[in-house]
Homo-oligomer: A and B are copies of this chain.
Amino acid sequence: MSFSGVENRLAVMGLQLPDAPRPVGNYRAAVISNELLFISGQLPMSGGELKYRGRVGVELTEAAGGEAAQLAALNVLAQIKAALGGFDRLVSLVRVEGFVSSAPGWTNQPRVLDHASNLFAAVLGERGVHARSAIGTSQLPLNAAVELVVTAAVAAPPAKEQ
C-alpha cells in the first residue's frame, strides 16, 4: 500500500497514523454492511497506550480535551485504512458520535469535538463531511477522555478483488 494522499496531508501537518488499535474485547474493529462502514468506538490511543485520561474540566483542560479528540480521530482514520486497505474506497464519512468525559457543569463538548471534525475536514476534504452528535458523559472505558464512533459510506469492492 503506497503512501496515500490522506497520509501525505497528515505528514504536512506533522501528524501520522497510529497503528489501528485492536479491539479491547470480543468484537471487530470495523464491520461493513450495505455499503456502510461501522467503526468501533475509538479512544485517544498512540503506540498501544491511552494518552488522555480523565474528565475534561477536572483532570484535563479543554485544550487537552481537544488534543484527545484529534488523536481519537487519527485512530478512526487508521481503522478506515485497515478496514478498506487504504482510502480509495472511502466515499465519505457520514456520522460522528462524540462522547466526552465531562466535569459536572462543563458544557463545551462541541468545542472539544471540533478538533476531530477539523482534522477530518483537513485531510479528507469533501469526503470528511459528517453529521455529528456531542454527548457529555461521566465515565468512558479505561478512563478515556474522548470516544469517537464513526459511520462512513464505502464503495463496493472491485469485482475481481482477491
Please give the count of copies of this chain that the complex contains: 3
For A6-39 the 0/1 string (1 means CB < 8 A from B) is 0000000000000000011111111101111011
Which residues of chain A (23-62) have a CB below 8 Å from chain B?
23-31, 33-36, 38-41
Contact B91–A139 (Cβ < 8 Å): no
Contact A34–B113 (Cβ < 8 Å): no
| A65 sits at the interface (CB 8 A) | no
| A78 sits at the interface (CB 8 A) | no
Residue of B nearest to A130 (CB): B27
Complex interface: chain B residues within 8 A of A41 (CB): 132-135
Contact B91–A131 (Cβ < 8 Å): no
Partner of A136, one of B39, B132, B138: B138
Which residues of chain A (83-131) have a CB below 8 Å from chain B?
91-92, 94-97, 99, 102-111, 113-114, 117-118, 121, 129-131
Give Cα A23–Cα B140 distance, bound, in whole angstroms. Answer: 25
Complex interface: chain B residues within 8 A of A31 (CB): 92, 94-95, 129-131
Residue of B nearest to A42 (CB): B133
| A1 sits at the interface (CB 8 A) | no
A-to-B contact residues, CB < 8 Å: 23-31, 33-36, 38-41, 91-92, 94-97, 99, 102-111, 113-114, 117-118, 121, 129-143, 147, 149, 151, 153
